[in-house]
Amino acid sequence: MLAFPSSYSVGITSLGYQVVWASLARRTDVDVRRLFTDQGDPPHGRSRGRGAALDLFGLSLSWELDGPVLLDLLEQERIPIWASERGDTDPIVFGGGPVLTANPEPLAPFFDAVLLGDGELLLPAFIEALQACRQAPRAERLARLAQVPGIYVPSLYRPEYAPDGTLLGVRPLAPGLPERVAKQTWQGNTLSHSMVVTPEAAWPSIHMVEVVRSCPELCRFCLASYLTLPFRTPSLDDGLIPAVEAGLAVTQRLGLLGASVTQHPQFAELLQWLDGDRFEGTRVSVSSVRAATVTPELGRILAKRGSKSLTIAIESGSERMRELVNKKLATEEIFAAARYAREGGLSGLKLYGMAGLPTETEADIEATADLLLQLKKATPGLRLSLGVSTFVPKAHTPFQWQGVRPEAEQHLKRLAKRLRPKGVELRPESYGWSVIQALLSRSDRRLAPVIAAARGSHESLGGWKRAYRAVLADTVQRPVGLPLPPAWDAVVHATWEPGRVLPWDHLDGPLSQAVLAEHARRSLPQPAAAEPLKPAQSNTAVLPR
Q: Map out the domains of the chain as residue ranges.
A: 2-155+167-182, 207-434
How many other C-beta atoms lie within 10 A of the C-beta of residue 26? 10
Q: Flag whether pLDDT at 169 surpasses 80.
A: yes
> What local confidence, expressed as pLDDT, does residue 43 receive?
80
Helix, strand, coil % over all residues of the chain, rounded to 5: 40, 15, 45
Contact 60, 457 (CB under 8 A): no
Residues in a beta bridge with 284: 254
Q: How confident is the model at residue 405 (pLDDT cuts 50, 70, 90)?
A: very high
Helix or strand or coil: residue 184?
A: strand
Element containing residue 82 per DSSP (H, E): none
Predicted confidence at residue 45, as pLDDT, reads 56
Q: What is the 3-state secondary structure (H, E, C) of 87-147?
A: CCCCCEEEEECHHHHHCCHHHHHHCCEEECECHHHHHHHHHHHHHCCCCCCHHHHHHHHCC
- The residue-averaged pLDDT of 345-369 equals 97
Beta strands in 229-341 (DSSP E): 253-257, 283-286, 309-315
Q: List, for residues 480-520, the tens digit of each pLDDT value.
A: 888 999 989 999 999 999 889 999 999 999 999 999 999 99
Q: Which residue, among 442, 312, 456, 463, has the nearest Cα to 375 in the 3D structure? A: 312
The pLDDT of 52-71, averaged and rounded, is 89
Residues 6+ apart with CB under 8 A from 413: none
Tens of pLDDT, residues 72-115 = 999 999 999 999 999 999 999 999 999 999 999 999 999 999 99
Is the peptide bond prior to 230 cis by the omega test (within 30 degrees of 0)? yes
Q: Is 517 exposed, middle or buried (0-12, 13-18, 19+ CB in 10 A)?
A: middle
pLDDT of 543 above 80: no
Least reliable range by pLDDT among 234-248, 282-296, 356-370, 468-482: 468-482
Q: How many other CB atoms are found less than 10 A from the CB of residue 140?
A: 12
Can you give the C-alpha Rg of the chain in angstroms? 24
**CA–CA gap between residue 478 and residue 119 (Å, rounded):** 32
AA identity, residue 352:
Y
185-221: per-residue pLDDT in tens? 998 878 999 999 999 999 999 999 999 999 999 999 9
For residues 108 and 440, the answer to whether their CB atoms sit within 8 Å is: no
Q: By percentage, how much of the chain surpasses pLDDT 70?
A: 94
| Predicted pLDDT of residue 472 | 86
Integer Cα distance of 166 and 505 in angstroms: 14
> What is the Cα–Cα distance from 28 to 124, expressed in whole angstroms?
12
Q: Is residue 327 within 8 Å of residue 288, measured between CB atoms?
A: no
Cβ–Cβ under 8 Å, residues 131 and 140: no
Looking at the DSSP assignment, which residues form a beta bridge with residue 172?
Answer: 157
| Calpha distance 155→140 (Å, rounded) | 12
CATH number for region 207-434: 3.20.20.70
Name the burial class of residue 61, with classes exposed (0-12), middle (13-18) and buried (19+) by CB atoms within 10 angstroms of its CB: buried
Please give the residue that has the higher pLDDT: either 504 or 45.
Answer: 504
When pLDDT is averaged across residues 326-347 and rounded to a whole number, the result is: 97
For residues 236 and 261, give the distance between their C-alpha atoms in angstroms, rounded to a whole number: 13
State the burial class of residue 463 (Cβ atoms within 10 Å of its Cβ: 0-12, 13-18, 19+): middle
* Bridge partners, residue 254, by sequence: 207, 284
Whether residue 284 contacts residue 306, with contact meaning beta carbons closer than 8 Å, is answered with yes
Bridge partners (DSSP) listed for residue 169: 160
CA distance 499 to 441: 19
Question: Which H or E element spans position 207?
Answer: strand 207-210
DSSP letter for each residue of 244-266: HHHHHTT-SEEEEESTTGGGSTT
Alpha-carbon torsion 71, 100, 11, 457, what sign? positive
To the nearest 10 degrees (0 to 180), the angle between helices 331-343 and 296-304 is 40
**pLDDT tens digit sequence for 298-330:** 999 999 999 999 999 999 999 999 999 999 999
Q: Are 442 and 490 within 8 A, CB to CB? A: no
Going by pLDDT thresholds of 50, 70 and 90, the confidence category of residue 478 is: confident
Mean pLDDT score of the chain: 92
Q: Kindly indicate the confidence band of residue 526, based on its pLDDT and cuts at 50, 70 and 90.
A: low
Q: Which residue has the higher pLDDT, 342 or 459?
A: 342
Mind listing the pLDDT tens digit for each residue in 409-420?
Answer: 999 999 999 999
Q: How many residues does the chain have?
A: 545
472 vs 47, more confident: 472
